[in-house]
Amino acid sequence: MSDRAHSDRIAILGAGLIGAGWAALFFHHGLDVCIWDPKPEALADVEARMRAPLAQLAEVAPGAGPRGTLTLCTDLAGAVNGADLIQENAPENIPVKHALYAQVEPLMADHAVLASSTSALTWSDLSPGLQKPERLITAHPFNPPHLVPLVEIYGTDPARLERAETIYRAAERVPVRLRKDATGHIANRLASALWREAVYMVQEGIADVEAIDAALVNGPGLRWSVLGAHMAYHLGGGPGGMAAYLSHLGPSQERRWAALGTPTLSEQVQADLVAGVDREAAGRSITQLEEHRDKALIAALRARKQAPHV
């Protein structure tokens, strides 16, 4: 369990899937959470939608300390006033977020951090129009946010970045900082790059959708859950590490990069992808697959507590 020396207050703006996940996470880890949503019906059932994430969090970290408090806020000022971290989960739409920030900024404390969960947009998209753009950071969680520890962070004020990271760590997240604002942050760039080749192999008939997924999950995916890609090549170099790897195998990697493909999402490729995941799902609904994923993630997270990743 995180230490409770801090008494940070968190405002969650938006009670959808991501907002409810954040709320469950911070509440579970002993922080005081106010959650606001412009739609009263979203707010009305957020506690019900937090039940499953909270039960999962109890499995990941059983015996965690006292929970925080949860307040449902029907007005924005009630959530934002006195908050140290304001986690924004509005729709992925620049004008919508700008309009919300125009309301939030006069209400927020000067020391507070306005953190956007945005996946598709960047800090440079979101900061124009703010009175004090240094109060904004992007803080992108990876789905499902209460289970996957990564939070990718970009901002311009080192002190605020550090304060935000301290709060995320208190909720057992792993904040990772970008040096430069970039579309897709880090993780979705990696995911896109990998999926491009995965789709290319389907397009070229090299392997079936479900074979590619099985190879990933039982091969590099498993290894990347304990060891980063750079570090894997460091070990691949033997006693000489990365320097030896680059001198022996750098040129063959460059040749391999040149041979990778870029597919087109043609009607045929789309049909192959849809048919492939259907075979792989083997009759399981999206909900069942998500439950299955979450159970496996919880087991993997518990394993990590015994033997941490490299």
CB of 269 to a copy of itself, least distance (A): 9
For residue 303, the minimal CB distance to a copy of itself (Å) is 4
> What is the smallest separation between the CB atom of 293 and a copy of itself, expressed in angstroms?
5
CB of 36 to a copy of itself, least distance (A): 24
Of 102 and 277, which has the nearer Cβ to a copy of itself?
277
Work out how close the CB of 241 gets to a copy of itself at its nearest, in angstroms, rounded to a whole number. 6
Q: Positive or negative CA dihedral for 26, 168, 143, 305?
A: negative
Return the residue matching tokens 């605020």: 160
Select 9 or 185, whichever has its Cβ closest to a copy of itself.
185
Please state the closest distance from residue 135 (CB atom) to a copy of itself, in A. 22
In the bound state with a copy of itself, the residue whose beta carbon lies nearer, of 9 and 234, is: 234
The rounded distance, in Å, linking the Cα atoms of 266 and 54 is 41
Nearer to a copy of itself, 101 or 154 (CB): 154
Residue 155: enclosing H or E segment and its boundaries? strand 150-155
Question: In terms of CB distance, is 131 or 252 closer to a copy of itself?
Answer: 252
> DSSP secondary structure string, 194-250?
HHHHHHHHHHTTSS-HHHHHHHHHHTHHHHHTTS-HHHHHHHHTGGGHHHHHHHHHH
Q: For residue 93, what are the CA distances in angstroms to 27, 90, 96, 132, 189?
A: 28, 8, 5, 21, 20
Q: CB nearer to a copy of itself: give 42 or 150.
A: 150
Q: Distance between CA 22 and CA 36 in Å, rounded? A: 12
Minimum distance, C-beta of residue 300 to a copy of itself, in the bound complex (Å): 5
Q: What does the DSSP 8-state code read for residue 134?
A: G
Cβ neighbours of 151 (radius 10 Å): 27
For a copy of itself, give the closer residue by CB, 9 or 175.
175
Residue type, 115: A
DSSP bridge pairs for 28: none
